[in-house]
Structure 1
Amino acid sequence: MTYNSPLKNKSFAFAIRTVNLYKYLSINKKEYVLSKQLLRSGTAIGALVRESEQAESKTDWLS
């Protein structure tokens, strides 16, 4: 299924904002540990949304 859902769009926009915040924190504030964790967790949301879209059955989706 290839459609643009609001959840997909919002998670993508959130990932873009997270990457920009990561750049700001690592370049301007010299914060590396916290910004790296923020980047990993903020971009994982989109991956989880896409993974749930690829579920083969309802039980697969629930897990």
Structure 2
Amino acid sequence: MDIEQLKNRIKEFAIQIILFARELPTGTEYKIIQGQIIRSASSTGANYRAACRAKSPADFINKMKIVEEELDETMYWLEILASLYPNCKNQLTPVWKEANELLAITVASIKKVRSNK
């Protein structure tokens, strides 16, 4: 997968999360989670784009570590939602799978750059 394909895939992931979050119940706790999950998912893409403009391998790794953290945080909020809102598990499964795959790609990229240093 090339850089542009991954950029688009991460952007589509953020859009999926935003669309999913729009469908959450309107209770206070869901509004808080909605804001958190949208922030972390959209931050994933913004930070990946920044990593693509890294000035050095160390800069790339630092930016990709932020991508890793934001994906992990998004997965955390998905876990919370699965517990609080069991009716949404069918909707959660594909976005969880995509988050997990993107996380694996991110970790592999970090490892590859570290081994090439």
**TM-score (structure 2 length as normaliser):** 0.45
Q: Aligned partners of 2:3, 2:57: CA distance in 1, in Å?
A: 21
1:1-56 per-residue CA deviation (whole Å, 9 max, x = no partner) reads xx86221011010011111112111xxx1120111111111111101110101111
- Structure 1: gaps of 5 or more residues: none
- Pick 1 or 2: higher relative contact order, CA cutoff 8 A, min separation 6: 1
Q: Aligned partners of 2:33, 2:47: CA distance in 1, in Å?
A: 21
- Structure 2: gaps of 5 or more residues: 63-117
- Which residue in the other structure is 1:19 paired with? 18
Q: Aligned partners of 1:37, 1:60: CA distance in 2, in Å?
A: 26
- Report how far residue 62 of structure 1 moved: 2.0
* Larger fraction in helix: 2
Identity within the alignment, %: 28
**TM-score (structure 1 length as normaliser):** 0.78
User: What pairs with 1:1-63 in structure 2 (closer than 5 Å)?
Assistant: 5-25=4-24, 29-30=25-26, 31-63=30-62
Q: Aligned partners of 1:34, 1:59: CA distance in 2, in Å?
A: 33
SS at match of 2:12: helix
How many aligned positions are there?
58
